[in-house]
Amino acid sequence: MIRSLTAAFAIVCALVLPAAAQSVKLPPNVDRQNTIIMQTTKGPVVFVLRADLAPQHAERIKTLAREGYYDNVPFHRVIEGFMAQTGDGQYGNGTGGSRYPNLPAEFSNVPFTRGTVGMARASSPNSANSQFFITFGDASFLNGQYTVIGQVVSGMENVDKIKRGEPVANPDKIVSMKVAADVK
């Protein structure tokens, strides 16, 4: 009997939880074509892409999200007071990228403040590919040197809960990442 109840509970959870995860309430007036819903192990995070500032980077994030590239990808580098970095769907440790070529920098005068989403890169300004980070607070020392691609509009409290480390032991992950327009 207990085994039957446990199996029934597992089936219900498998059916209900993914649907609940997709029912994230978006802030009013967001452009669903440029809004990302990221389910993490700490809860949902919604960010709006700045296609007006970084059209190539915004398009890359949307393409990779639509391909499922970011699903189950760890937050491999999380520095207290600075940022949480993720997006290495190749290796999961910060050394990989997507199958697409690197992107040229799209720097702007938009400052890195709490909740800013930026593209991670190697030493070359034109080496961003798939990895991105979310800042925990002011990171003005990055201004003009990294591409701003978006801003968290919901769920920053969940970003704050992401496990810290460099590298992170037993890291939190992106469970799934979708373009809001694609979520029914």
Q: What is the CB neighbour count within 10 angstroms for residue 159?
A: 25
- Say what the pLDDT of residue 25 is: 87
**Does the predicted TM-score (pTM) go above 0.85?**
yes
Domains of the chain: 27-182 (2.40.100.10)
Contacts of 130 (CB under 8 A, 6+ apart): 60, 64, 69, 70, 87, 88, 89, 90, 96, 97, 98, 100
Is the pLDDT assigned to residue 11 strictly greater than 60? no
Kindly report, residue by residue over 34-52, the tens digit of the pLDDT.
999 999 999 999 999 999 9
**The length of the chain, given as a count of residues:** 184
* pLDDT (0 to 100) of residue 85: 98
CB-count burial class (<10 Å; 0-12, 13-18, 19+) for 166:
exposed
- Residue 74, CB-side half-sphere exposure with 13 Å CA sphere: 20
